[in-house]
Amino acid sequence: MLDLEDIFGAGGPLERALPAFNVRGQQLNMAERVFAAIARREALVVEAGTGTGKTFAYLVPALLSGARVLISTGTRTLQDQLFAKDLPLVGRALGRPAKVALLKGRGNYLCRHRLTQSAPPLPLESPEGARPEAGGDAMERVRRWALTTRSGDLAEVAGLADSDPLWAEITSTRDNCLGMRCPELARCHVALARRGALDADIVIVNHHLLLADLALKEDGFGDLLGAADAVILDEAHQIPDLATQFFGAQVSSRRIEALLSDVQGRLHAKGEPSATAAQAREVAAAIRAVQLCLVRLSTALCGRTGRLDWTETESRVGALVEELAALLAALTERLRDLGEETPAAALAERSAELTAGLERIGATQEQEGARSIEVSARGFSLSLMPFDIAARFQALVTARRCAWIFTSATLSIGEDFSHFTARLGLSCDTLKIDSPFDYASQSLLFLPQGLPEPQSRAHLTAVLELARELIEAARGGAFVLFTSHRALSQAAAHWRGSGAAQRYRLLVQGEAPRERLLESFRGDGNAVLFGTASFWEGVDVKGSALRLVIIEKLPFASPEDPLVRARISHLTSTGGNAFRDYQLPEAALALKQGVGRLIRSEEDHGAVAICDPRLTGRGYGKVFLAALPPMTRTRDCGQTVEFLRQHVPAAPAAAEAS
């Protein structure tokens, strides 16, 4: 049997299977540590710099160990890549095929029952070779695809965008799933996917699904997690914030309205056990009381939009939330009175869950968590975000006798992992593996001189003037990253009024889905993309299509955000240093993510310009610089312009990107 050195070494099975495979000591180092952690059922935190090849560095040990492994990712894209490409390739190379299952949240799977409610019945037999067509009506394409699909994963339907409203019509939620009473239960794609996962050696899930099981036990695969010998969390930098959401509470007006609508529909459904006239009147009265309270709460929030600070509205809103919880509790009791064996039982459970959420949000003390209200044209959402989840998350990890591997390219600040590990209550080995890329020769970090302070009105204009000069030198191929949507929209308007907008195609976040913008950026080769939060991480553009990243300012979270303000207040009141312990490390990790968009392969070259004078003018700037790759630094604009001109692709970048 080959050992890890043979597998990852020159002439080994990975090199034979992959023509583009590069032998990297860093990859072998990570694989050895992951293999040891799995064997010993220990926890391990690994930061693997870009280009390490961390995916293979955990897949090979997972396959060789013979352990039952659960792999969790941050995105569906990485889930699909692991399932369809990486795991089959590594399994063939090692001669160690494994039974692999892909498990997504229920919202990704076709619900056959809801499809029959939304479209004409499917024929009993499908035409020979029937497949969804590239064009045509989306519902018709889904119906044709439904005849042949085995997985029911809607990602298989060509041209069906994630934002298409059809998804909501043909998928189920926990609230509207009929469960054991569904006429399509025997062919339910969600149930079949879960059964397949129980029989698999390796199961690929996403963080939302994993955390739902850990925190809420809501998605029905606790047996799957309980049987795992190892849990590997890729893109683990997302876990602290996601876990905070799952350990908190959220109740929206839309969920309450959906419950009321379903209760009304069930009471009048044909063929269902009927309530007595008296019971029906009691339920109807309870529904009206909840509806009236919702109206009063909406009226109290009228004229406001965005995220509101709970304390600014507490006197009126707090009392209404308490009243709404009491009225939902009364509705729950009326539904329970209809009997445990009736369809109303499931509705009672939903009502009880919403009641518990409202009661928890309303009763939370300021030292326990941040409460906020999100108001939009579609309604409102009340949320609670606990300040400290360390003890709870640690208890979940230690309760299972299995290995836990946390890995990402962004977990440490310098050599320090404490910000990440402390938030999750982890006490375990850490490993930092530097990127194999030659940042000193492949990249340049430009720290401009003389720019206005970020709070100045002149700052954004100065940044855009500098950006135009750098983009001209690079002949396009640039990301310009902002820290707010407001700055993004102002910059886009300013840019479109300049001559540069005529020479380089401008792509702006929010004007098209992210994947479509990225596809256009790669295909053009010389485009300029303006983006904010969602383009700071999880974006991979290899090759010369991206050769310049301009960062407007350091990505400190806005202190005006109610949740940020509440966390700052909490840390200050408990004797902590909110800037040092929270704002600074969070911003440093975000900057590390943004800078990491540039160099994605050994062949990439380019420059990063960080247009914030605080990076060199304030003492804390060294914390940011310590978090960044070892790029050659300059404060000379002329040197940066010359570097960019030297690395303008000779051939059209679009041809290379294809």
The string over 406-439, giving b where at least 16 C-beta atoms fall within 10 Å of a residue's C-beta and e elsewhere, is bbbbbbbbeebbebbbebbbbebebbebebbbeb
User: How many residues does the structure list for the chain?
Assistant: 658
Q: Which CATH number is 4-99+390-433 given?
A: 3.40.50.300
For the cut 50, the answer to whether the pLDDT of residue 368 exceeds it is yes
Q: Which of 237, 241, 243 is nearest to 211 (CA)?
A: 243
Strand-pairing partners, residue 101, are 203
Average pLDDT over residues 629-656: 85
Candidate ranges 101-105, 134-138, 340-344; pick with highest mean pLDDT: 101-105
Q: Which of 523, 521, 515 is nearest to 549 (CA)?
A: 521
For the stretch 284-306, pLDDT in tens is: 999 999 999 999 998 888 877 88
37: helix, strand or coil: helix
Q: In sequence order, what are the residues at sequence separation of 6 or more whose Cβ sits closer than 8 angstroms to the Cβ of residue 98?
A: 63, 87, 91, 200, 201, 202
- The answer to which of 454-458, 500-504, 511-515 has the lowest mean pLDDT is 500-504
Do 4-99+390-433 and 250-386 have matching folds?
A: no
| Number of CB atoms found within 10 A of residue 404's CB | 24
Q: Which of 508, 497, 504 is nearest to 524 (CA)?
A: 504
pLDDT at residue 127, as a whole number: 44
Alpha carbon distance 434, 87 (integer Å): 24
The pair of three-digit structure tokens given for residue 594, joined into one six-digit string:
């943004």
144: helix, strand or coil: helix
In the chain, where are the structural domains located?
Answer: 4-99+390-433, 250-386, 439-657
The pair of three-digit structure tokens given for residue 648, joined into one six-digit string:
């303008």
For the cut 60, the answer to whether the pLDDT of residue 323 exceeds it is yes
pLDDT at residue 155, as a whole number: 86
Percent of the chain with pLDDT over 90: 65
pLDDT at residue 650, as a whole number: 72
Q: What is the DSSP letter of 457?
A: T
Q: Which of 201, 553, 294, 589 is nearest to 420 (CA)?
A: 589
Average pLDDT over residues 489-500: 87
For the cut 60, the answer to whether the pLDDT of residue 658 exceeds it is no
Alpha carbon distance 450, 611 (integer Å): 10
621: helix, strand or coil: helix
pLDDT at residue 215, as a whole number: 66
- The answer to which of 71-80, 216-225, 291-300 has the lowest mean pLDDT is 216-225
For the stretch 422-436, pLDDT in tens is: 999 999 999 999 999
Greater confidence (116 vs 333) lies with 333
Average pLDDT over residues 600-609: 95
Average pLDDT over residues 563-582: 90
For the cut 70, the answer to whether the pLDDT of residue 126 exceeds it is no
Alpha carbon distance 495, 461 (integer Å): 10
pLDDT at residue 526, as a whole number: 94
Alpha carbon distance 267, 263 (integer Å): 6
For the cut 60, the answer to whether the pLDDT of residue 219 exceeds it is no
Q: What angle do CA 597, 602, 608 make, to 5 degrees?
A: 35
The pair of three-digit structure tokens given for residue 422, joined into one six-digit string:
């402390």
pLDDT at residue 314, as a whole number: 58
Mean pLDDT over all residues of the chain? 88
Candidate ranges 98-112, 333-347, 428-442, 500-514; pick with highest mean pLDDT: 428-442
Percent of the chain with pLDDT over 70: 91
CA 502 vs. chain centroid, Å, equals 35
Q: Which residue has the tokens 């919702």?
A: 294
Helix axes 344-363, 253-267, angle to 10 degrees: 160
> Using CA of residue 154, residue 158, residue 164, residue 170, what is the dihedral sign?
negative
Q: In sequence order, what are the residues at sequence separation of 6 or more whose Cβ sits closer than 8 angstroms to the Cβ of residue 319?
A: none
Diameter of the chain measured on Cα atoms: 83
pLDDT at residue 657, as a whole number: 39
Alpha carbon distance 452, 460 (integer Å): 9
pLDDT at residue 269, as a whole number: 63
Q: In sequence order, what are the residues at sequence separation of 6 or more whose Cβ sits closer than 8 angstroms to the Cβ of residue 521?
A: 507, 527, 529, 541, 545, 546
Q: What is the dihedral of CA 283, 289, 293, 299, to 10 degrees?
A: 110
For the cut 60, the answer to whether the pLDDT of residue 123 exceeds it is no
Q: In sequence order, what are the residues at sequence separation of 6 or more whose Cβ sits closer than 8 angstroms to the Cβ of residue 359?
A: 325
Q: Which CATH number is 250-386 given?
A: 1.10.275
The pair of three-digit structure tokens given for residue 384, joined into one six-digit string:
């609670």
Average pLDDT over residues 380-405: 91
**Which fold does the domain 439-657 belong to in CATH?**
Rossmann fold (3.40.50)
Extract the runs of DSSP E, i.e. beta strands, from 522-588. Answer: 528-531, 548-551
For the cut 90, the answer to whether the pLDDT of residue 275 exceeds it is no
Greater confidence (595 vs 180) lies with 595
pLDDT at residue 214, as a whole number: 76
Q: In sequence order, what are the residues at sequence separation of 6 or more whose Cβ sits closer than 8 angstroms to the Cβ of residue 632?
A: 439, 440, 441, 443, 444, 445
pLDDT at residue 393, as a whole number: 93
Average pLDDT over residues 234-259: 93
602: helix, strand or coil: coil
pLDDT category at 243 given cuts 50, 70, 90 is: very high
pLDDT at residue 308, as a whole number: 82
For the cut 60, the answer to whether the pLDDT of residue 135 exceeds it is no
> Using CA of residue 464, residue 465, residue 469, residue 470, what is the dihedral sign?
negative
pLDDT at residue 222, as a whole number: 47
pLDDT at residue 343, as a whole number: 72
Q: Which residue has the tokens 């109303």?
A: 344
Query: Global pTM?
Result: 0.88
Q: Which of 357, 302, 351 is nearest to 327 (CA)?
A: 351
